[in-house]
Amino acid sequence: METRMKTEKKTKILPPTIFWLLVLASAGTSLSTRFIYPEERIAASLPYSENFGIIAGGLLIAAGIALNIWTDLIFKKEATTVKPHEEPSKLITAGPFRISRHPMYLGMTMILFGLPLILSGPATAFMFPIAFIMAMEMLFIPLEETNCEKIFKDSYIGYKKGVRRWI
């Protein structure tokens, strides 16, 4: 009797998956209020003007996108992995990594904070960027930082002392 061993390939959830699910949830929450409440009631309930929300939200989203593109280009230039489950081949400390050890997560968080501002969403829509931060803190950052300490040893420990996790 011949037995065949199947290689199990585990699907690993990556941060962009969580990010996009939260973008959809945030946009859905923000936009659904427009179907429930009249426009003037939404505007009156905001602690800021709609114009401020559009400008501030747009700036946060644009800065978050720019930060993610910049960081991704650095990963590609340095030929190291962006995936948290893989081992990095190089410690990057230049560019946005001078101000944040996790600039891509920071950029995604900025986008998630900007979305309810630009869509005049309810205060509850701000729970999505907080959920993103919590997911990164629990699921990915400990793994990444443990890998970096293991691979880059004192270089990473010194970098960690000089650069904050987020900002």
Q: For position 5, what pLDDT does the model report?
A: 46
Q: Note whether 58 and 111 are within 8 A (CB).
A: no
Distance CA 16, CA 65 (A): 13
Interatomic CA distance for residues 73 and 52, integer angstroms: 31
Written as one letter, the residue type at 119 is L
pLDDT of 2 reads 46
What pLDDT was estimated at residue 9?
Answer: 52
**Tens place of pLDDT per residue across the chain (167 aa):** 444 444 445 668 999 999 999 999 999 988 888 778 776 777 777 777 778 888 999 999 999 999 999 999 999 999 999 999 999 999 999 999 999 999 999 999 999 999 998 988 778 889 999 999 999 999 999 999 999 999 999 999 999 999 999 99
- Measured between alpha carbons, how far is 74 from 34 in angstroms, rounded to an integer? 40
Predicted local distance difference test score (pLDDT) of residue 79: 95
Confirm if 17 and 127 have CB atoms less than 8 A apart.
no
Residue 104: how many other CB atoms lie within 10 Å: 23
